[in-house]
Structure 1
Amino acid sequence: MRRTIWLAASTLALALIGGCGSSSGGTAAPDTTPPSDTASQPTASPSMAASTRPREIKLDGKDPCGLISAQQRAKFSIEREPRPGTSDAFKASNCSFSTKVGVYRITAVTTEGVEAWRSGNRTGKAEEQQPIAGFPAIAVTLPNDDRSCSVAVDVADGQYLYSTAQVDKGKESELPAMCEAARQFAEAAMTTLTASS
């Protein structure tokens, strides 16, 4: 009888010792990963962002000027021809659409993902927005700039569509809701982009 109890106790002790440090079966295990310098900075995983997109739309080779149709330009009171350019900040192609009170701009960012704004790698305040055409979106405002607002639409891993609305100095009252204007312009561009991709 004593031998049976001793064997049962020994077996139980071995089972408990063998379970220490294992993460299976719900047992907590210590984290042995060395601390990272960026651990305190929140980052958005590209795969997490991808899971909320209805699909992926690559911007490589896309002409930003072609994302706003003539009919859409009329809706935004754009009377001049769009001007293609390059964004030094993003090292990406963009297109400017001038109005009587300011300018709209579309940039096809292919050099970084939208998580650059969420993680604080870029200067600016990012606020989550309702999705545009099912794609995650954020509004971006820059410090000391009360005349513009941008909306970034997460279209693919490492890429996003960046729509900016900027009002000319002295005409702020004519375009008071700049973030809403930037969003509407992004919606127009996304309508074209989703239809052609």
Structure 2
Amino acid sequence: MRSRMLLAGLGAVLLGITGCTTSETGSPTTSATAVDGPSTSKPTSTKPASQTVEIPARPKELKLNAIDPCALFTDGQRGQLKINRSRLTTNNSDVWRGSKECVLNVQAQQPYYDYAALLITSEGIGPWLTGKRNVDADLISVAGFAAAKTVFKGSSNERNSHECAVSVDVAEGQQLMVSMNLTSRNAFTQDQICQMTEKAAEMAVTTLQTLA
């Protein structure tokens, strides 16, 4: 259950904003690996009035509907990430209930942590970049695709933080969310957790391009 805390928590965030958004302030920022400036090609979607960041055009459409999330990591990639076990399941959060998900465990030796790959086909990454959700968000690039890197608001510089998520703009109205949940207390800093999450997300997108 611990391995899915981030996804469940993000689902709760979505429920919260449907009732009230006045307490969820702030604007997304741009990290050192951010996508700078508008794309020179025609964007695949327009910028909603509530969205504060322009999302560059994706290089191609990678539909998630027929994808097995556990197939997004090859044996070689699993070895690099130290993954020793995985299981296919469905998300049970109120927002993304029924979405296909793969939980991947790193438990052969300490520090212990989990990755999760969630296939969201009900919305793109735009809502993460509105500044209205209870997250600190950066617009970054993952394997050439725009992505929203998110941590719970205010946890960006905390040593005892244990979660990070990277949601990749893979297709219109769809996102591939790769998250990491640290179960060994204080084993990594927040920056290290997010760097590891970005690495896993890049691997997943690279493999997705061979499957979609």
TM-score, normalised relative to structure 2: 0.64
Greater helix share, structure number: 1
Map of 1:65-84 to 2, 5 A cutoff?
A: 65-84=70-89
**Displacement, 1:81?**
3.2
How far apart are the structure 2 equivalents of 1:123 and 1:93? 24
What is the CA deviation profile of residues 36-76 of structure 1, one whole-angstrom value per residue up to 9, with x for unaligned ones? xxxxx99x993357761111111112111111112211111
Contact 2:69–2:101 (8 Å) recurs in 1: yes
Q: Distance in 1 between matches of 2:122 and 2:60?
A: 19
**Structure 1 residues 133 and 45, CA, compared in 2 at 3 Å: closer, same or farther?**
closer
Task: Return the index of the structure with the highest Cα Rg.
Answer: 1
Q: RMSD of the TM alignment (CA)? A: 2.7
Q: Deviation at 1:169?
A: 4.2
Alignment correspondent of 2:104: 97
For residues 126 and 62 of structure 1, what CA distance do their matches in structure 2 show? 26
Please state whether the residue corresponding to 1:59 is helix, strand or coil. coil
Residues 139, 174 of structure 1: CA spacing in aligned structure 2 closer, same or farther, 3 A cutoff?
Answer: closer
1:155 has 2:170 as partner: yes
Select which of 117, 122, 144 maps to 2:128. Answer: 117
Cα 1:53–1:174 shift into 2, 3 Å: closer
Aligned 1:174-193 pairs, distance under 5 A: 177-193=192-208
Shift of 1:120: 3.6
Q: Aligned ranges for residues 122-141 of structure 1 at < 5 Å? A: 122-129=133-140, 131-141=141-151
Q: Is the 8 A contact 2:162 2:190 kept in 1?
A: no
Aligned-partner Cα distance in 1 for 2:85–2:168:
25
> Cα 1:118–1:144, aligned 2, differ >3 Å: closer, same or farther?
closer
* Amino acid paired to 1:150: A
Which letter does structure 1 place at the counterpart of 2:102?
Answer: C
**Secondary structure of 1:46 counterpart:** coil
Counterpart for residue 91 of structure 2: 86
Pick closer, same or farther for the CA change 1:102–1:175 going to 2, 3 Å: farther
The number of aligned residues is 155
Q: CA deviation at 1:143?
A: 3.3
1:90-148 Cα distance to aligned partner (Å, 9 max, x none): 2321110011211001011111110010124533111111x222111121001376101
- Structure 2 distance, partners of 1:189, 1:182, is 11
Percent identical: 27
Could you state the TM-score of these two structures normalised by the residue count of structure 1? 0.69
Question: For residue 82 of structure 1, what is the amino acid of its counterpart?
Answer: R
What SS does the corresponding residue of 2:179 show, helix, strand or coil? strand
Instruction: Give the number of the structure with larger relative contact order, counting CA–CA contacts within 8 Å between residues 6 or more apart.
Output: 2
Structure 1: which 4+ aligned runs deviate by more than 4 Å? 48-51
Q: CA deviation at 1:174?
A: 8.5
